[in-house]
Structure formats: structure tokens, C-alpha cells
Amino acid sequence: MGAWQYVIGIGLALLGLYTLWATRNQYRFIKAKGNKDTSPFVMWGMWSSSLIGFVLVMVGVTTFFGQW
């Protein structure tokens, strides 16, 4: 794959880190400002967002090091 391997790996890892960062910020916002009108399904969305972020980081790292 050459140089594209590193570009794709870094891109996926950064996208995954951004997803985890955004999930953390959303959790802090809901914890501080959530009330009875907050959807009870928001935690499912945050859980799936965390899982997607973790998977993107792992795929990015394995792509970067050529283990894919």
C-alpha cells in the first residue's frame, strides 16, 4: 500500500479520537444540564458512538502498522 497505508491509518485513528472526544463532551453536557425531558435513549447513542470511535482507532492503528 505504500504511503497511503500511513495516510489512511492516521486518518482513521484521528476520526476515532474525534468521535471519542465528542462523546465525552456530550456526556459531560448531559450530566450537567440533563433533566426529565432528556431522552432515555441518549445513553444507547453514546455507547454506540464510543464503540464506533474505539473500532476506528483500532482499525487506524492496525492499518498504520500494516497488520490489516
- 7-57 confidence digits (pLDDT tens): 999 999 999 999 999 999 999 999 999 999 999 899 999 999 999 999 999
Total domains in the fold of the chain: 1
Banded pLDDT at 2 (limits 50, 70, 90): confident
Which pLDDT value is given to residue 68? 61
> Per the domain annotation, does 45 fall within a domain?
yes
Question: Residue 13: which domain range?
Answer: 3-30+41-64
Res 1 pLDDT > 80: no
Residue-level length of the chain: 68
> Per the domain annotation, does 8 fall within a domain?
yes
SS3 (DSSP) at 54: helix
Global pTM value: 0.88
> Per the domain annotation, does 36 fall within a domain?
no
> Per the domain annotation, does 50 fall within a domain?
yes
> Per the domain annotation, does 9 fall within a domain?
yes
Query: Could you tell me the three cell numbers for 63?
Result: 492499518
